[in-house]
């Protein structure tokens, strides 16, 4: 399958421009652009330049180690991996229903993470573009520049993230890479002191989150020509949807819609995910390309994350976030919004929802309970799915009768958005770079499109051992002495 | 008349037959060690408890205390050597603390913290060692073995089972299970054995219990090893 601008006909005749590394994103990636003599764009690719291999080296390890080990995929949203793995292993230890305390403590941990990750992405990584302009002075287009010109905004960004990190610390034991979630439940509850400490700040956090929604809403609606069309492409959407169609980051069933909002599938038990989703490997990236089986490679790719979730759910259970969701849906005019920059707006609605849920949970005495763990009939296989900050995250494990992992498959959020990000940057390249002299400001437009998806490139690279690969050994005259191929 | 020696200038009492390490522990003075356990005969192999007695280096777990000895332990020179030994133990095995369930309860990790070990310093060996998960209750992760032989001694001297042994020589020394198949499931090893309780690192582990204790409540979260390892603890 070849997509427009994915592969140039004669790359050897073209000039190569690289954005390496892509800045203000998590992990390491680069973009290559192939141009001809008239600066016309012939090829644009987002490459993920590292691989991790977790799926491989987790094999042979005892299953109870997995939630702690796999979260090392990432330092930004390790809680997502920690919990997705735990959910898969809940199935394996027969704990299909956790105790109320365990479920609420995990949910609290996860919503703390959504809050901190969304705050980090919006304030630290993206606000410089949004507040100063995409091709503004590069020396101030960073968080320090924001701190100097908009000190209150920058300060709130830092404090919002700090609060989310504190929620993680009291539930997981550490701000980064804790051990709180275990197969069948959690290993600690909250003390009264920990709960009260968080309660002191939660009302400010909610207010600041509301202000953040209003800030991005204002930025977006003031320049609809740019924000509604920048990097735009149409695609399917997918996300978990909670009970009764609620927005839910921790649990639910899978729902997919097409670009017009028409259902593709709904109420899908994620234990069956591989009946609905397939992954394609392409030779030029360590990141795989997932797609819906029913639609095939060409039409089955989709986007995940805030823009998908907020439009896929029927409602949001908390009042302020639901109000903002309705505002967003009204603005979109009753049809799905596909603009990548609308990710920011929906991301802030999600941050507000996370803050409101944290408040509700902190008023629930189940968080103080010591009834933390259950077990049932042991199973050999389990799937855990969670909505990570960047989108739907799948963990799938098989465990043998000696408790050792024999198979692991991870489809991480950014992988789900792989084709979508490539489409966005190709659109931007066509619109802004084609036929022009390349400048730093123009190249930043490409990065702005990538950043909208909040990609976490470090955890998205799993194609180890599966890429089609050809190796040729040549002698000094250039004749092939030996060749090996795979895939 | 009471018997005493000096340890880093401090007077330490001892009784006839006590080693320097035993007397120091009884007096509440910590000397780093890994292969020593108060319930077992000293082995003298890890060399971490090395001290200088009247200017000469010796293992304090095997050297009997004598009146008037001048013992040096907490010196920069000796701690630098202990640190190097600890670094070598880390690189010889596969010690991945971030995902090890013994983290926070591990004597090797706690000792490394105590000695201010900031990096492995040496090149990792990355040995290829399989996990023995055959036993229904106990997992053996040979990746973390530091050859202290405590399980060998406990199984032989307390349990009367002789389940473990050190095999090979020099750098090829490794822990084996005394069964024709080499699998723990094919021995009479039980979770209640003393040998299941003495591993100072994360080799012998009760299955399905990993990470049950939250961060903050693990042994060395409560106090550094220098305050927890004294005689009989």
Q: Which site among B94, B95, B99 would you substitute to test the A interface, given the most A Cβ atoms closer than 10 Å to its Cβ?
A: B99
A21: which residues sit within 8 A by CB, 6+ positions away? A28, A29, A30, A49
**DSSP string computed for B39-81:** TS-----S-TTEEEETTEEEETTTSBP-TT-EEE-S-HHHHHH
CA distance A21 to A31: 8
CB nearest to B215's CB, from A67, A178, A402: A178
CA distance A81 to A100: 21
Place of tokens 């409602």: A315
Helices (H) and strands (E) in chain A, counts: 16, 16
pLDDT tens-digit map of B176-226: 999 999 999 999 999 999 999 999 999 999 999 999 999 999 999 999 999
pLDDT at A486: 38
Task: Show residues of chain B in contact with A188, CB under 8 Å.
Answer: 214, 216-217
ipTM above 0.90, yes or no: yes
CA distance B32 to B139: 27
- Residues of chain A in Cβ contact (below 8 Å) with chain B: 60-62, 64-65, 67-69, 72, 93, 172-174, 177-180, 182, 187-188, 402-404
Instruction: For residue A452, give both structure tokens.
Output: 């909208």
SS3 label, residue A132: helix
**DSSP string computed for B110-174:** HHHHHTT--S--SPP------EE--SSSEEEEGGG-----HHHHIIIIIIS---EEEES-GGG-E
Is the CB of residue B133 less than 8 Å away from at least one CB of chain A?
yes
Q: Nearest CA to A44 among A412, A419, A462? A: A419
Helix boundaries (H) for A28-99: 54-57, 66-70, 78-92
- Going residue by residue through chain A, which has 487 residues, state the pLDDT in tens, using 9 for 90 and above: 446 788 888 888 888 888 877 776 666 778 888 888 888 889 888 887 666 778 888 999 999 999 999 998 887 889 999 999 999 999 999 998 999 999 999 999 999 999 999 999 999 989 999 999 988 888 888 888 999 999 999 999 999 999 999 999 999 999 999 999 999 999 999 999 999 999 999 999 999 999 999 999 999 999 999 999 999 999 999 999 998 999 999 999 999 999 999 999 999 999 999 999 998 888 777 778 899 999 999 999 999 999 999 999 999 999 999 999 999 999 999 899 999 999 999 999 999 999 999 999 999 999 999 999 999 999 999 999 999 999 999 999 999 999 999 999 988 888 888 889 889 989 988 888 888 888 888 888 888 888 898 877 655 544 333 333 344 545 556 565 555 443 4
Is the CB of residue B186 less than 8 Å away from at least one CB of chain A?
no
Residue B19 confidence (pLDDT) above 70: yes
H or E element in which residue B192 lies: none
CA distance B15 to B17: 6
Q: Nearest CA to A240 among A93, A83, A128, A397? A: A83
In 10 A of CB B158, how many CB atoms?
15
Residue B145 confidence (pLDDT) above 90: yes
CB contact under 8 A, A68 and B99: yes
Rounded to the nearest angstrom, the minimum Cα separation between A376 and chain B is 13
CB-based burial of residue A26 (10 Å sphere; 0-12 exposed, 13-18 middle, 19+ buried)? Answer: buried
CB contact under 8 A, A179 and B211: yes
Is the CB of residue B207 less than 8 Å away from at least one CB of chain A?
yes
Q: Which site among B98, B126, B133, B209 would you substitute to test the A interface, given the most A Cβ atoms closer than 10 Å to its Cβ?
A: B133
pLDDT at B233: 45
Q: What is the mean pLDDT of chain B?
A: 95
Rounded to the nearest angstrom, the minimum Cα separation between A191 and chain B is 13
CB contact under 8 A, A64 and B131: no
Instruction: For residue B61, give both structure tokens.
Output: 């777990």
Q: Which residue of B has its CA nearest to A378?
A: B208
Q: Which residue of A has its CA nearest to B143?
A: A61
Average pLDDT over residues B123-130: 94
Is the CB of residue B55 less than 8 Å away from at least one CB of chain A?
no
Is the CB of residue B209 less than 8 Å away from at least one CB of chain A?
yes
Instruction: For residue B144, give both structure tokens.
Output: 């973390």
Q: Are strands B174-177 and B164-167 parallel, antiparallel or unpaired?
A: antiparallel
pTM of the model: 0.91
């Amino acid at each position: 399958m070849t997509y427009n601008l994915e592969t140039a006909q004669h790359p050897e005749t073209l000039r190569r421009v690289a954005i390496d590394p892509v800045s203000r994103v998590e992990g390491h990636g680069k973009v290559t652009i192939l141009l001809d003599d008239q600066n016309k764009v012939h090829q644009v690719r987002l490459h993920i330049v590292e691989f991790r291999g977790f799926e491989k080296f987790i094999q042979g390890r005892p299953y109870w180690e997995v939630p702690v080990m796999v979260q090392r995929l990432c330092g930004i949203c390790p809680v997502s991996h920690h919990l997705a793995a735990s959910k898969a292993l809940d199935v394996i230890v027969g704990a299909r229903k956790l105790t109320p305390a365990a479920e609420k403590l995990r949910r609290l941990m996860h919503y703390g993470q959504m809050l901190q990750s969304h705050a980090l992405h919006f304030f630290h990584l993206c606000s410089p573009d949004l507040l100063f302009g995409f091709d503004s002075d590069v020396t101030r287009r960073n968080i320090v520049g924001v701190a100097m010109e908009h000190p209150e905004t920058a300060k709130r960004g830092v404090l919002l993230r700090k609060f989310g990190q504190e929620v993680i610390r009291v539930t997981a034991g550490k701000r980064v890479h804790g051990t709180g979630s275990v197969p069948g439940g959690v290993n600690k509850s909250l003390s009264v002191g920990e709960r009260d400490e968080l309660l002191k700040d939660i009302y400010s956090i909610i207010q600041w989150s509301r202000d953040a929604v209003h800030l991005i809403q204002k930025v977006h609606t003031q320049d609809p020509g740019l924000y509604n069309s920048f990097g735009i492409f149409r695609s399917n959407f997918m996300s978990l949807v909670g009970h009764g169609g609620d927005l839910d980051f921790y649990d639910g069933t899978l729902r997919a819609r097409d670009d017009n909002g028409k259902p593709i599938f709904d109420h899908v038990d994620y234990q069956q995910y591989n009946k609905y989703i397939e992954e394609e490997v392409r030779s030029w990236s360590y990141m795989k390309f997932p797609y819906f089986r029913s639609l095939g490679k060409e039409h089955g790719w989709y986007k995940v994350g805030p823009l998908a979730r907020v439009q896929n759910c029927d409602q949001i259970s908390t009042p302020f976030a639901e109000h903002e969701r309705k505002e967003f849906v009204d603005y979109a005019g009753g049809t799905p919004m596909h603009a990548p920059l609308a990710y920011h707006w929906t991301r802030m609605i999600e941050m507000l929802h996370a803050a409101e849920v944290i408040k509700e949970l902190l008023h629930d005495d189940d968080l103080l309970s010591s009834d933390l763990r259950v077990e049932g009939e042991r199973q050999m296989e389990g799937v855990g799915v969670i909505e990570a900050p960047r989108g739907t995250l799948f963990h799938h494990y098989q465990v043998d009768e000696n408790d050792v992992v024999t198979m692991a498959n991870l489809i991480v959020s950014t992988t789900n958005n792989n084709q979508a990000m490539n489409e966005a940057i190709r659109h931007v390249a066509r619109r802004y770079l084609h036929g022009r002299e390349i400048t730093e400001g123009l190249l930043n437009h490409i990065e702005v499109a990538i950043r909208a998806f909040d990609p976490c490139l470090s955890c998205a690279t799993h194609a180890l051992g599966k890429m089609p690969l050809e190796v040729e050994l040549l002698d000094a005259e250039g004749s092939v002495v030996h060749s090996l191929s795979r895939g | 008349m009471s018997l005493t020696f000096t340890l880093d200038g401090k007077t330490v009492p001892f009784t006839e037959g006590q080693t320097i390490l035993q007397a120091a522990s009884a007096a509440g003075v910590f000397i780093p060690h890994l292969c020593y356990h108060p319930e077992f005969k000293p082995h003298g192999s890890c060399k971490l408890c090395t001290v200088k007695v009247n200017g000469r280096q010796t293992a304090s777990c095997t050297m009997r205390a004598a009146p008037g000895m001048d013992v040096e332990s907490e010196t920069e020179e000796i701690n630098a050597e202990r640190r190097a030994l600890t670094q070598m133990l880390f690189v010889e095995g596969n010690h991945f603390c971030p995902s090890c369930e013994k983290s926070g309860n591990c004597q090797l990790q706690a000792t490394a913290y105590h000695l201010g070990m900031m990096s492995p310093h040496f090149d990792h060996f990355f040995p290829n060692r399989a996990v023995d998960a055959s036993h229904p209750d106990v997992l053996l992760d040979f990746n973390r073995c530091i050859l202290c032989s405590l399980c060998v001694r406990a199984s032989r001297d307390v349990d009367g089972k002789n389940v473990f042994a050190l095999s090979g020589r020099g750098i090829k020394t490794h822990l084996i299970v005394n069964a024709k198949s080499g699998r723990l499931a094919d021995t009479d090893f039980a979770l209640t054995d003393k040998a299941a309780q003495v591993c100072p690192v994360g080799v012998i582990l009760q299955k399905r219990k990993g990470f049950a204790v939250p961060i903050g409540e693990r042994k060395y979260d409560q106090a550094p090893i220098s305050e927890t390892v004294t005689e009989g603890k």
